[in-house]
Chain A
Amino acid sequence: MKRPIRTLLQAPSVGLLFLWMIVPLAMTIYFSFIRYNLLNPDVHGFAGFQNYQFLWEDPAFVPALINTLALIGSVLIVTIVLGTLLAVLYERRFFGRNVATLLVIAPFFVMPTVSALVWKNMILHPVYGLLAHAFFAVGLTPIDWFGRFPMVSVIMILSWEWLPFAFLILYTSIKSLDREQREAALIDGAKPVQMFFHITLPHLKRAIGVVIMIETIFLLSVFAEIYTTTSGGPGTATTNLAYLVYSQGLQQFDIGIASAGGILAVVMANVVAFFLVRILARSLKGNT
């Protein structure tokens, strides 16, 4: 429907929106093709694909790609599976459920840096951490989490942060499940497990889509948690794309490389988005 007035009224907002997205992107693309190091202005000029090549040839590049995807995949699986189970559990009435719900969603409000610090120093620390104390108490050797299972530890922290979000979305979705539909299934003799797989889970599809979308957005650029806990290590065990860009570009203030990394991340994001759409087409379109 084309009405000049409507177009005019929207133009500023839509225009601004696009401008605000495109300007930094354009600048980043430009920077990614020049030699530009803040600390070393002697080196300048057109770089062609050198910055990209530099990143591409980094031995940490492929591990970083794999780590990024592994991180997203694992956290998604953990949060969605646990979130669904929790949502099903919390859908039942029990004593003090509302208060317990508040406790469950609380981690979502904690700043990522703070939660990383807390987990690293107070929970997982192999000497002072609560887990170490617990292990000591039962006569076991404490586990050096960040040394031996660095990826697992990071996934643990991220899952703790994002589980409340997944839970909240799935919980609200479960609550909106039609009672009649459920009762009909009960009358049809559905057992709890069948009920879950045939009624509840299909109903949750769209909510799961939302969780995947939003979490993927944030998990693709996870940085603070890795920076605070493992600094991408040991070796390249927990280096993801964002951290690689940081360590190769920003840390030495090589804007060219950092920008090239940013662009590569956007490309990767689009690839991920492409597959996400395949999976989530329905929920993204917002059709039921």
Chain B
Amino acid sequence: MESSRSRSWLFGIIGWLVAIVLFFPIFWVAITAFKTEQAAYSPSLIFSPTLESFHEVFARSNYVGFALNSIYIALGSTLLCFIIAIPAAYRMAFFPSAKTQSTLLWMLSTKMMPAVGVLLPIYLLFKSAGLLDSVWGLIGIYTLINLPIAIWMSYTYFREVPSAILEAARVDGAGIMSQIWHVLTPMALPGISSTALLLIILSWNEAFWSINLTSSHAAPLTVFIASYSSPEGLFWAKLSAASLLAVAPIMVMGWLTQKQLVSGLTFGAVK
């Protein structure tokens, strides 16, 4: 008893140590955001906090506009993604054919194509479709990017649902849409919502397409960051403030839904 208690202390200390080390860079960004530009270069923890950088950031860019675009795009693409992915995953999970496995893999492998290789084809497509700098264009591209993941994850979650339940629903008179909507989706909800969370995070942080395909009207927070970042790393305080503002919404959302994320992942793919 005695030793197990002291061991639990030890685990606590190690656990916290790791957490602090991993979180430290983010903590440092948060601290730097409240420093002046000159103080930002010094490693000191003691400084007089100032909102200067935030004032500057808000004066320079329309943060709310960028943030709203990010929200529209992340939620919109995730929703659209599921609308397309769920029927496909339904078919693959419950009526698999010999090609289902290879199709899934092929889909996942297209996801591995580097974006830099297909920028121009997509750009030209977008141009001719008039989708440049439109929220819908980005929603489309993220849907396309995330679709394989959504299908694959939904597929693994659906495989956990006994097919007899869907058959029961059919006998009860449920059509395909009813089966999916009333039975399958609610049953796989934990898995689907944690997948959704994953997709939202990925869309939120995607920086290549958003920067290349939008300019002002549809520009999300990654573009906002691009106006503060430079590979040369100038203006740390302002960059930190902007980063904090860009990361905060998604991080708060992630933290609030962490329980959901955990339980959802437990349900499906990783059980």
Contact = CB atoms under 8 A, between A and B. Distances in A.
A complexed with B: yes
Interface of A: 1, 5-6, 9-10, 13-14, 16-17, 20-21, 23-25, 27-28, 31, 38, 86, 89-90, 92-97, 100-115, 117-123, 125, 128, 130, 133, 160, 163-164, 168-173, 175-176, 206-207, 210, 213-214, 216-217, 220-221, 223-224, 227-229, 231, 241-242, 245-246, 249-250, 253, 255, 258-259, 261-263, 265-266, 268-270, 272-273, 277, 284-286, 288
Dominant secondary structure of chain A at its interface with chain B: helix
A40 B243 CA distance: 38
Given A217-B108, A223-B115, A284-B104, A31 B22 contact: no
Contacts of B165: none
Interface of B: 8-9, 11-12, 14-16, 18-20, 22-23, 25-26, 28-29, 32, 41, 43, 83-84, 87-88, 91, 95, 101, 104-122, 124-125, 143-144, 147-149, 151-152, 155-156, 159-160, 175-177, 201, 204-205, 207-208, 221-222, 225-226, 229, 231, 233, 236, 239, 243, 246-247, 250-251, 254-255, 258, 261-263, 265-266, 269-271
Given A107-B25, A123-B25, A176 B15 contact: no
Contact of A118 (B22, B29, B262): B29
A14 B91 contact: yes
Nearest to A100: B19
A160 B144 CA distance: 27
B270 A266 contact: no
Given A106-B26, A210-B270, A31 B121 contact: yes
A10 B87 contact: yes
B233 A117 contact: yes
Contacts of B113: 25, 28, 221, 262, 265-266, 269
A117 B116 contact: no
The 9 residue pairs across chains A and B that have the minimum distance between CB atoms: A262-B117, A94-B12, A269-B112, A242-B114, A121-B233, A27-B121, A207-B270, A103-B23, A100-B19
A104 B22 contact: yes
A266 B112 contact: yes
Given A92-B8, A245-B117, A261-B116, 7 more contacts: A21-B144, A24-B125, A110-B243, A172-B270, A176-B271, A246-B114, A262-B113
Contact of A21 (B22, B110, B125, B207): B110
Contacts of A253: 120
Given A21-B107, A25-B110, A259-B118, A176 B270 contact: yes
Given A168-B262, A220-B114, A259-B120, A114 B243 contact: yes
Contacts of B156: 286
B117 A258 contact: yes
